[in-house]
């Protein structure tokens, strides 16, 4: 037997019903019956468990389920008030932290200096402290936190949550990020319980957040983050594509002819990041006598209209666009989003110049090249969404309901 919303041999469970409601595909009891093939009584029993857990609520009257007419059906809604999520987006020299609702609304946030080269123990300990302070500021208790999401500027093995040979995160390789961050939060937040910690690459989470919020109908979405380094996040059919061990999207370390003499932070010569990242542009500006030490400095110079910064950003965009021609030909995305410190007009102009020149017309015929909608919040939104999608996935809902005793 196959339930319509389930898998072969399995009836749709409470988690499947919750997924249908969360996605908006079925938001009344009648629609759930139709989508799953379950009886009215069985749907009612499944929903009762979700109501008792506090995960569902009744909304306003919706469309009439019966073709014969009658009273409007009561709609069902995911109740985002029963818990909150903590999220952090780590960059090389600062960190942004936030408290989010289960539907992705940022309830409170803070950005401050936090140098990733200080090492994982110190950085994660400080993040735990900032989480506790921000949670109190937002008016929520530690017992309301259902999970923590963390974006980091390096490749991550999603099974273990550990970064793998990160070029710009010295001392972080294979470190137990999940365990340390969980302990740090518990140390600083009164009443904190053991909550799951999910870790992913920052470009992946930016792509996940942007695709869900701004381009939900795009089945093949690519985001390129150009800041201190260069990385890409790929979302296919609503899921992050990570490769076999988290290395997908690491385009900053593709070798390019123009960089043959440029030493990259990964230790190799000729990487794209060594000649076209925010850090590379900052170094070239410094050589010209312009004060710049990082991608964020370049961003400020571009915002101020500095002509040297604009010229070098456009040149960097051309180099990145040359590489993206291959990416677009391979993946055939519907949206290519440019984000990060260099995501302004000069850089975007350079990308478009080389991309459309080098890529096959067939690959760009239905391609939109855009800039970030969420800006600096993209990683936070993506990290929050990752946690919520993990915790409320159909296969995990049953375990959590049993743990709650409902």
Where in the chain are the domains? Answer: 14-78, 84-204+380-404, 217-373
Contact call for residues 80 and 102 (beta carbons, < 8 A): yes
| More confident call, 16 vs 228 | 16
Q: What angle in degrees, to the nearest 10, is found between the helix axes of 307-331 and 345-358?
A: 40
Mean pLDDT of 104-117: 96
User: For the chain, give me the number of helices (H) and strands (E)?
Assistant: 14, 14
Highest-scoring range by mean pLDDT, 70-74, 189-193, 390-394: 390-394
Residue 283 has pLDDT above 60, yes or no: yes
**Could you name the CATH architecture of 14-78?**
Orthogonal Bundle (1.10)
172-199 as b/e: b if 16+ CB within 10 A? beebebbebbbbbbbebbeebeebebbb
Asked whether the predicted pLDDT for residue 146 surpasses 90, the reply is yes
Query: Residues 116, 90: contact at Cβ < 8 Å?
Result: yes
d(CA 230, CA 206): 13
Neighbours of 29 (CB within 10 A): 18
92-101, 106-115, 260-269, 379-388, range with the lowest pLDDT: 260-269
pTM over 0.85: yes
Residue with tokens 């923590």: 148
CATH number attached to the domain at 84-204+380-404 = 3.30.420.40
Which pLDDT score, from 0 to 100, does residue 2 have? 42
Structure tokens of 224?
A: 């390129």
pLDDT band of 167, cuts 50, 70, 90: confident
**Cα–Cα distance measured from residue 143 to residue 187, given in angstroms and rounded to the nearest whole number:** 14
- For residue 287, which phi and psi values (nearest 5 degrees)? -65, -25
Would you place residue 261 in the very low, low, confident or very high pLDDT band (cuts 50, 70, 90)? confident
Range 159-183 average pLDDT: 94
Give yes or no for a contact between 223 and 233, defined as CB atoms under 8 angstroms apart.
Answer: yes
Mean per-residue pLDDT, 206-216: 97
- How many other C-beta atoms are found inside a 10 Å radius of the C-beta of residue 154? 23
Whether pLDDT at 391 is above 90: yes
By C-alpha distance, which of 371, 214, 202 is closest to 299?
A: 371
Architecture of domain 217-373: 2-Layer Sandwich (3.30)
Q: Mean pLDDT, to the nearest integer, of 71-90?
A: 92
Lookup result for tokens 């139709």: 34
C-alpha dihedral, 282 to 286 to 291 to 297, nearest 10°: 0
Whether 14-78 and 84-204+380-404 share one fold: the answer is: no
Average pLDDT over residues 326-344: 96
pLDDT value of position 379: 97
Examine the pLDDT at 216 and tell me if it is beyond 80: yes
**Quick one: pLDDT at residue 9?**
52
Residue with token string 């909550």: 195
Using the structure block, give the residue that is written with the tokens 């959590």. 400
pLDDT at 69: 53
Q: Model confidence at 4, in pLDDT bands (50, 70, 90)?
A: low
Average pLDDT, the chain: 93
């Amino acid at each position: 037997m196959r339930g319509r919303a389930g898998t072969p041999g399995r009836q749709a469970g409470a988690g499947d019903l919750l997924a249908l409601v969360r996605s908006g595909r079925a938001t009344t009891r009648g629609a759930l019956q139709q989508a799953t093939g379950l009886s009215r009584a069985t749907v009612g029993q499944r929903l009762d468990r979700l109501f008792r857990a506090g995960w569902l609520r009744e909304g306003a009257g919706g469309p009439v389920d019966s073709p014969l007419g009658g009273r409007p059906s009561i709609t069902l809604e995911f109740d985002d008030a029963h818990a909150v999520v903590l999220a952090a987006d780590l960059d090389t020299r600062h960190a942004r932290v936030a408290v989010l609702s289960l539907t992705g609304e940022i309830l409170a946030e803070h950005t401050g200096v936090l140098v990733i080269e200080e090492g994982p123990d110190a950085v994660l300990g400080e993040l735990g402290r900032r989480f506790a302070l921000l949670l109190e500021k937002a008016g929520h208790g530690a017992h309301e936190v259902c999970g923590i999401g963390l974006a980091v500027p390096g490749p991550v093995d999603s099974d273990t949550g550990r970064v793998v040979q990160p070029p710009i995160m010295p001392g972080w390789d294979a470190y137990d990020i999940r365990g340390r961050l969980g302990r740090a939060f518990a140390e600083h937040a009164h009443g904190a319980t053991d909550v799951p910690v999910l870790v992913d690459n920052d470009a992946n989470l930016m792509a996940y957040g942007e695709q869900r919020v701004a381009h939900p109908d795009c089945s093949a979405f690519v985001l390129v983050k150009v800041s201190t380094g260069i990385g890409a996040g790929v979302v296919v059919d609503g899921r992050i594509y990570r490769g076999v061990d988290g290395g997908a999207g690491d385009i900053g370390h593709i070798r390019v002819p123009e960089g043959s003499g440029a030493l990259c932070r990964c230790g190799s010569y000729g990487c794209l990041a060594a000649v076209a990242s925010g850090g590379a542009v900052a170094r070239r500006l410094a050589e010209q006598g312009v004060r710049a030490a990082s991608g964020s400095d370049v961003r400020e110079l571009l915002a101020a209209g500095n002509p040297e910064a604009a010229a070098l950003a456009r040149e960097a965009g051309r180099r990145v666009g040359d590489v993206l021609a291959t990416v677009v030909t391979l993946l055939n995305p519907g949206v290519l989003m440019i984000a990060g410190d260099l995501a302004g007009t000069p850089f975007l102009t350079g990308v478009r110049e080389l991309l459309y020149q080098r890529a096959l017309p067939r690959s760009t015929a239905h391609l939109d090249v855009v800039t970030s909608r969420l800006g600096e919040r993209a990683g936070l939104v993506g990290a929050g969404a990752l946690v919520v999608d993990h915790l409320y996935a159909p296969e995990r809902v049953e375990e959590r309901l049993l743990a709650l005793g409902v």
